[in-house]
Amino acid sequence: MKKIVSILLFFAIISIVTMGGSSNPYSGKYITSNNTILELNSTGKCKVINNFYKDVFYTYGQYTISDNEIEIIFDKDKRNYLNVESLKGKVKGSNIVFYDYIQEGKECVYSKIE
């Protein structure tokens, strides 16, 4: 009986360690001042939710982050409400900053929601 309990405990500890080590620190929800939401999941997929009209619009894509540089490439087979093929920006602490995709010379800051 003790042997079975110790084996189960061993596998429980191993599964906790492997799950904790593979988490993505960038995944989560980010929001702008105009209530646009950027959702990054841990598998490299993302969703942008536009709330500035009467309806809600979703844009889907995939993201990569390397050396605090983020690039989002939007799915070509789905509707893209941002009217851009990709976004490039920088991760600065708990914020992601994108440049020049809404208005020329403006930056768009997404802040992480805790």
Is residue 102 domain-resident? yes
Is residue 41 domain-resident? yes
Other beta carbons within 10 angstroms of residue 27's beta carbon come to 16
Indicate which CATH number applies to the domain containing 31: 2.40.128.280
Distance CA(42)–CA(76), nearest Å, equals 21
Other beta carbons within 10 angstroms of residue 94's beta carbon come to 13
Domain count along the chain: 1
Is residue 44 domain-resident? yes
54-76 per-position pLDDT tens digit? 778 889 999 999 999 999 999 98
93-109 per-position pLDDT tens digit? 899 998 766 556 678 89
Other beta carbons within 10 angstroms of residue 58's beta carbon come to 14
The pTM score is 0.73
Distance CA(85)–CA(74), nearest Å, equals 6
Distance CA(105)–CA(69), nearest Å, equals 19
